[in-house]
Amino acid sequence: MISLPNFLTLARIVISPLFLIVYLGYETLHINEQVLPFVLLVLFVISELSDAFDGYFARKYGQVTDLGKILDPMADSIARISVFLTFTQPPVNLPMILVFVFIYRDAVVSTLRTICALKGFALAARASGKIKAVIQAIAALIIILMLIPYTRGHLSPETLQFNSTLVVLIAAVYTLYSGVDYIYANREYIARMIRNQGSPDAV
């Protein structure tokens, strides 16, 4: 049977497209516009709680597995990028280029981690990566909360878009920094992996 931590991780992956479906199709789903932010908030909180508890239960019950080590960062990336991609649509209208910063950073780090793991090098996690996740979560939460006064007519579309872009810009800048920090901190392992790729015995 699938372990509880891995179940929570998989649940996070499943919830991710629901956020997009609800945001874009709330009228089809007969969700009132003023209720929409609260539905999104519930989905987002469930996703974030699953992220917090899957690691906690894995450590507490000794259920840290290779599958979990792969699924957890993948689920984190899918969940948060799904939220920010959703917000590139009206009324938030985030600039797509900011979301691409998140996508590229996760793609580069995940690829390096996987390649080095195959070569027997374990790249160390960085505190900046944890902080990055928190900042991204806060940015997404701020946007969801701003949708509450917006749907009640207390916040103009222009203000919503400007403030949303500002908070995500801050998150994108730190995300970029965390990627550079990760690569720099693990530069020796990465260099060793590159040297091995160039050797006659490299696979």
150 vs 50: CA distance, rounded Å: 28
Q: From residue 87, how far is each of 48, 159, 165, 166, 167 by CA, in Å?
A: 17, 15, 10, 13, 12
**Residue 29: pLDDT above 70?**
yes
Q: Who contacts 140 (Cβ-Cβ below 8 Å, separation ≥6)? A: 44, 80, 83, 84, 87
pTM of the complete model:
0.90
Average pLDDT on 74-102 reads 95
Query: Nearest Cα to 172, choosing from 110, 90, 87, 73?
Result: 87
**136-181 residue pLDDT tens:** 999 999 999 999 999 999 999 999 999 999 999 999 999 999 999 9
Residue spans per domain, the chain: 1-65, 87-203
Q: What is the pLDDT of residue 4?
A: 86
**31-87 residue pLDDT tens:** 999 999 999 999 999 999 998 888 888 888 887 776 777 788 888 999 999 999 999
Alpha helices in the chain (DSSP H): 4-25, 36-60, 66-86, 96-118, 127-151, 157-185, 187-197
**Residue 199: pLDDT above 70?**
no
**Residue 1: pLDDT above 70?**
no
DSSP characters over 129-170: HHHHHHHHHHHHHHHHHHHHHHHTTSS-HHHHHHHHHHHHHH
Average pLDDT on 87-113 reads 94
Q: What is the pLDDT of residue 202?
A: 44
